[in-house]
Amino acid sequence: MTAQIIDGKAIAQQVRAEWKIRSDKLIAQGVTPGMAVIIVGNDPASKVYVANKVKACAELGLYSIHVEMPADTSEAALLAEVDALNKNPAIHGILVQLPLPGHLDAHKVIEAINPDKDVDGFHQMNVGALVTGETPFPSCTPYGVMVMLEKTGIQIEGKHAVVVGRSNIVGKPMALLLLHKNATVTICTSKTVDLAKHTRDADILVAAVGKPNFITGDMVKPGAVVIDVGINRNSDGKLVGDVDFASVSAVAGFLTPVPGGVGPMTITMLIANTVRAAERLSGLVKHADAE
């Protein structure tokens, strides 16, 4: 079998066009969705991510600001910045680029964000809402995976989904979103015994491990849908996923590439969450319709 490659770039473009229509409606009524990104310090990867987020906003006609703070920023100064953005009516979505320098408590900072502006979906209130199935802001990477599956026409209900990884930003919300769509979900971690036994049983396998080429063809059920969330550099400095593309593409039915798979969806869903936040906060779209 040769896997069908899921083109994340093409799906992301299509989804952005759909959200642009919603955003343009708001703009026509005098509300430009606005996003603020706070970055603390000089981490080069974080700077690239922030630049990409700001660029995506500009492409869709959204307003965005990015606040750069020095690496030695105090917690009080960072919390004051978050507070100012919470009160800024031009800003509907706030995100704090992670990781933060070690002296800053990311949990405390995220909890300071107004949950109605928490477009990353990391605030406890939105995480709790995700558990009960009602969050307005699913965290962007797993949300992007769900949209990819939907746009590719992959059935989720009744399937066995195996998520490898349990981080708060990818693995756990991924498992919950799949569960809400009536998959039977298994979560594997570094402590799982006989990982391959579980992954080989997956109809839908999501790898969010952070280890290059970790999932190999012998760990995959023939015809399975394999979603590679990983973004890693291999020893040659090349960008690779958690899935060994060569061996898995010979076994799987569907596979996302890295780059060009899940990555483009993440920023797209951040845009979606920001537009949804603006719809809700402006009162121009009823909450029930701002889904």
Considering only residues 117 to 156 of the shown chain, the ones binding ligand NDP according to CB under 6 A are 141
By C-beta, is 63 or 144 nearer to ligand NDP?
A: 144
Enter the DSSP assignment of 168: T
> Which of 60, 62, 164, 271 contacts ligand NDP by CB under 6 A?
164
Q: What does the alpha-carbon distance between residue 211 and residue 207 come to, in Å, rounded to a whole number?
A: 9
DSSP three-state, residue 6: coil
Q: Is 190 in the site for ligand NDP (CB under 6 A)?
A: yes
Residue number with CB closer to ligand NDP (141 or 213):
141
Q: Which is nearer to ligand NDP, 117 or 172 (CB)?
A: 172
- Residue 210 in contact with ligand NDP, rule: CB under 6 A: yes
- Check residue 232 for interaction with ligand NDP (CB under 6 A): yes
Q: Is 189 in the site for ligand NDP (CB under 6 A)?
A: yes
Task: Compute the least distance from the CB of residue 140 to ligand NDP, in Å.
Answer: 7
Binding of residue 257 to ligand NDP (CB under 6 A): no
> How far is residue 275 from each of residues 116, 179, 199, 265, 282, measured CA to CA in Å?
12, 25, 36, 15, 10
Q: Residue 9, interface with ligand NDP (CB under 6 A)?
A: no
Of these, 127, 229, 251, 281, which contacts ligand NDP (CB under 6 A)?
A: 229
Question: What's the farthest any 2 CA atoms get from each other in the chain?
Answer: 56
**Secondary structure letter of residue 219 according to DSSP:** G
Of these, 192, 216, 247, 282, which contacts ligand NDP (CB under 6 A)? 192
CA–chain centroid gap for 71, Å, is 25
Tracing tokens 């002296």 back to the chain, one arrives at 103
Instruction: Note whether 23 and 61 are within 8 A (CB).
Output: yes
Give the residue numbers marked as catalytic: 53, 97, 120
And the tokens for 253? 């039915």
The only residue of 195, 248, 251, 277 in contact with ligand NDP, by rule CB under 6 A: 195
Q: Does 173 bind ligand NDP (CB under 6 A)?
A: no
- Other C-beta atoms closer than 10 Å to the C-beta of 102 total 7
Tell me how many residues contact ligand NDP (CB under 6 A).
Answer: 25
Instruction: Evaluate whether 156 touches 181 at the Cβ level (below 8 Å).
Output: yes
- Which of these, 280, 266, 289, lies nearest to 93 by C-alpha position? 280
- Chain contacts with ligand NDP (rule: CB under 6 A): 141, 164-167, 169-171, 188-192, 195, 208-211, 229-232, 262-263, 266
